[in-house]
Amino acid sequence: MKKIRVLVAKPGLDGHDRGALVIAQALRDHGMEVIYTGLRQSPAQIAQAAVQEDVDVIGLSSLSGAHRTLFPKVLEELEKRNASDIPVIAGGVIPSEDIPYLIDKGIKKIFTSGSSTEVLADYIQELIDPKTKSIEKPHKIAHIGIAVESIDYALPFYTDSLGLELEMVEQVESEGVKIAFIKIGETRLELLEPLNDSSSVRKFLDKKGEGIHHIALEVDDIETRLQQLNKQGIKLINEKAKTGAHNSQIAFIHPKAANGVLFELCQHERNED
Amino acid sequence: MDEKKQQLTEKKKWENSVAQTLKRFPEREETFTTSSDIEVQRLYDAESNSYKLSYPGQYPYTRGIQPSMYRSRFWTMRQYAGFGSATETNKRFRYLLDQGQTGLSVAFDLPTQIGYDSDDIMSEGEVGKVGVAIDTLKDMEQLLDQIPLDKVSTSMTINAPASVLLCMYIAVGEKQGVPLEKLTGTIQNDILKEYIARGTYIFPPKPSMRLITNIFEFCQKYVPKFNTISISGYHIREAGSNAVQEAAFTIANGIAYVDAAIDSGLDIDSFAPRLAFFFNAHNNFFEEVAKFRAARRIWAKIMKEQYKAKDPKSWKLRFHTQTGGSTLTAQQPDNNIVRVTLQALAAVMGGTQSLHTNSRDEALSLPTEESARIALRTQQIIAHESGVADTIDPLGGSYYVEALTDEMERKINDYLDHIKEIGGAVQAVEEGYMQREIHQNAYEIQKRIEKEEEIIVGLNKFKLDEEVNPDLLKVDEALEKSQIESLQTIRNERNQEAVNKALAELKENAKHAQTNLMPSILEAVRAYASVGEICNVLREEFGEYTGL
């Protein structure tokens, strides 16, 4: 396969190129060809170099605060050269409130201080060559799990008051829970009732009371996704998938990695829906 | 003798008990190392070194350059500041002086540092961003308004156009009626590290070195209390070097400036006492302390033994320290206050002459007033509350610190020998030797952090689920426009004939390598010629450095 070509550029007068140089080296170590422009490049020079070198992606770095002016200028200069199809990503000291502005102007993604070169390299790989992207993003919310003391008591609200349809009730012995699936649009609500005292749902109820327990995301290729998350340093509760309700393969992501929300990854048999 | 024997038996006992303990509690790491890859022993004792220490204020100054150090006077608390317009920065300066700061330190914006006017096409988006925008003497007058230049010492972070900004400072002094010999302060004026690490160069090395020696000569005659250069390891470290490389490359650059000055006919003792240094302080506490002590010892030996300087003032390595910007994290920014405290403490334990403490929010943007105040308070707490400044060199005689000082001295000297073999610092810079060494180390650090072999609290361990976004300083986007307008007003109001005449004279003098350019730059500045206009004249004569 042809090597991915990356232009790493320093627009403006900023002389801090430690980050740019480290990233250039890391991308080379990931098998990419990297052209570094050197310091003090005008937006026109950067666009020109990108076209001449026939690069697949441009990475801009700025630490001087000139990003709001200079990054969009690079995009304008690319457009003048009919090269708007070259994606531009950026990094440096970029305050988070400037990120939406830059994304809106057409910068694909901003990597700020503390980003890992591994994640960056994977991002570029997938951006340029989606075929190598073995896994698709989660399709939809498979279900929202709600912890309840008793399914029998809880159910009438959903079926009678809201008029939703109860799909099925099932016991998952391995998790120590009884669950009820209630269909809503393309997704489901999942009521969870503990079967015994060692059930994690029991612990949840004792600690927090009834309420939303987790959100399940429908994914393909759960094993690869788990590996990828692991590699990115995302904390997982289950590093390997296990069998969940309805013969699905499931695994949980640690709430610490996701703003206090417990996420379940859930893969159903293909023929199921 | 018996006592010694007793000691050895005790040591043996300890070694045995360690061996036992390690079976149950193995050590956290296989080997412990400093940032410069010096292996740290389990324990240091009297056998670890055979140091002979001189007293403070005595050659080779391992324990400090003054006989009484901080018992007489604390280090100068000097916070680097500057943003936006001269008027705004002037307000921040007067605020900091009111808060008890004892010296000024000016940050210039990038166009000023690279010799472009605010209306130059190259300046777009950069005006007033990382420091104050100075185009003409008018801006400098506003910057220093109501600040008495005979009482306040001013450090200016300016390199390639240092001569121009120094002349502006002199011209403001003249207007305030302050005699030149009373002006005190420092210009950074260290071009070699710009090629190596910081990037604000304009001219190629040779004419740049000429401008530097012109300043040495001029100041020795007319502005004798001004530090004519601040030979900087700070940016070398920020670019990714380790502690040994920082000290070694800085001293190598220092040697290059001394050689250039001697070659231009100056006597060593006429300029060497005005050379100042500028180091970084990172997190590895004892290594940093040892670095400062080793650097002082090495410089003293070089100046006395190699250059035969006779004036003890020429032997003393005086230095400013700034805490390490690259050690700060954007994540959990308040943690940075603690890092800065440790680094500042290392600088004080290392005997610094002045200190800048970074603000907690610098990984996110320029510091807010509140953050800048906490940074200054950090120094004041160390000075007034901790008691560490009450005795001289409190770590002197520590088995570990002395052993580390010796080891750093050896490793720094190895680098100096190697750079000498290459042909000196200028040659090494032109070949990209230092740049490669630094880059290599920066990449290693990044890999270690990503593999979690090096822990950065809040970044790769002890992370928070949610990050709070603190208030950040915003530079007004309208500033660029108003700065350009006021530059145009000055261009319309000044005596253009005087400007043309001064610039023509400067151009003529630039052609003659033996002529000191300072008088003609001063003349141009007095006529309100701009930084860009003066630098463009010199660009025409000297050409521009374009990188490797």
pLDDT at position A134 is: 55
List pLDDT tens digits, range B372-405: 899 999 999 999 999 999 999 999 999 999 999 9
Q: Could you tell me if residue B380 is inside a domain? A: yes
- Beta-bridge mates of residue B175: none
Q: Is the pLDDT of residue A187 over 60?
A: yes
pLDDT at position A272 is: 41
pLDDT at position B441 is: 96
Read off the pLDDT of each residue in B64-84 and give the average, rounded to a whole number: 90
**Residue A68: closest C-alpha in chain B:** B125
Q: Cα torsion for B403, B406, B407, B411, to the nearest 10°?
A: 170
Q: Could you tell me if residue B515 is inside a domain? A: no
List pLDDT tens digits, range A241-258: 888 777 788 999 999 888
Q: Could you tell me if residue B47 is inside a domain? A: no
CA distances from A216 to A189, A226, B291, B468 (A): 10, 14, 54, 27
- What are the chain A neighbours of B199 within 8 Å (beta carbons)? 14-17, 39-40
pLDDT at position B241 is: 97
Q: Is the pLDDT of residue B350 over 80?
A: yes
Contacts of B402 (CB under 8 A, 6+ apart): B48, B49, B51, B53, B396
The residue type of B11 is: K
pLDDT at position A229 is: 86
Find tokens 């890859």 and name the residue: B37
- Residue of A13, A21, A38 with shortest CB distance to B122: A13
List pLDDT tens digits, range B265-294: 999 999 999 999 999 999 999 999 999 999
Q: Is the pLDDT of residue B341 over 50?
A: yes
Contacts of B515 (CB under 8 A, 6+ apart): B509
What are the domain boundaries of chain A? 5-131, 140-267
Are A164 and A201 spatial neighbours (Cβ–Cβ below 8 Å)? Answer: no
CATH number at residue B422: 3.20.20.240
Tell me which residues of chain B have a C-beta less than 8 Å from any C-beta of chain A: 110-111, 113-114, 116, 121-126, 129-130, 194, 198-200, 238-240, 326, 329-331, 363-366, 439, 442-443, 446, 450, 459-460, 463, 465-466, 469, 472, 475, 477, 547-548
Higher pLDDT, A129 or B95: B95
Higher pLDDT, A134 or A160: A160
Q: Could you tell me if residue B30 is inside a domain? A: no
Q: Cα torsion for B254, B259, B264, B266, to the nearest 10°?
A: 80
- What are the chain B neighbours of A97 within 8 Å (beta carbons)? 469, 472
The H or E element that residue A60 is part of is strand A57-62
- Residue of B122, B129, B326 with shortest CB distance to A64: B129
**Interatomic CA distance for residues A158 and A160, integer angstroms:** 6
Read off the pLDDT of each residue in B130-153 and give the average, rounded to a whole number: 94
Interfacial A residues in 80-119 facing B (CB < 8 Å)? 93, 95-97, 112-114, 116-118
pLDDT at position B228 is: 95
List pLDDT tens digits, range B471-518: 666 667 788 999 999 999 999 999 999 999 999 999 999 999 999 999
At A93, the pLDDT band (50, 70, 90 cuts) reads confident
The stretches of B223-368 forming alpha helices (DSSP H) are: 234-238, 243-263, 268-271, 285-301, 312-315, 335-349
What is the end-to-end Cα distance of chain A in Å, rounded?
37
Q: Can you tell me the ipTM of this complex?
A: 0.84
List pLDDT tens digits, range B533-547: 999 999 999 999 987
- What are the chain A neighbours of B116 within 8 Å (beta carbons)? 13
Read off the pLDDT of each residue in A169-183 and give the average, rounded to a whole number: 88
List pLDDT tens digits, range B159-175: 999 999 999 999 999 99
Q: What percent of chain A has pLDDT over 70?
A: 96
Q: Which two tokens stand for residue A85?
A: 């199809």
Q: Could you tell me if residue B498 is inside a domain? A: no
- Calculate the average pLDDT of chain B: 93
Are B186 and B320 spatial neighbours (Cβ–Cβ below 8 Å)? Answer: yes
pLDDT at position A273 is: 40
Are B240 and B441 spatial neighbours (Cβ–Cβ below 8 Å)? Answer: yes
What is the end-to-end Cα distance of chain B in Å, rounded?
62
Q: Is the pLDDT of residue A147 over 70?
A: yes
Q: What percent of chain B has pLDDT over 90?
A: 83
Are B139 and B145 spatial neighbours (Cβ–Cβ below 8 Å)? Answer: no
The domain total for chain B is 1
Domain A5-131 has CATH 3.30.230.10: no
Find tokens 């005699």 and name the residue: B179
Quick check: A95 and B123 CB within 8 A?
A: no
Q: Is the pLDDT of residue B37 over 70?
A: yes
Q: Could you tell me if residue B509 is inside a domain? A: no
Q: Could you tell me if residue B385 is inside a domain? A: yes
List pLDDT tens digits, range B432-479: 999 999 999 999 999 999 888 899 998 888 888 766 666 666 667 788
Q: Could you tell me if residue B193 is inside a domain? A: yes
Instruction: Give me the CATH code for the A140-267 domain, please.
Output: 3.10.180.10
Question: Can you give the residue range of the structural domain that contains B343?
Answer: 69-450
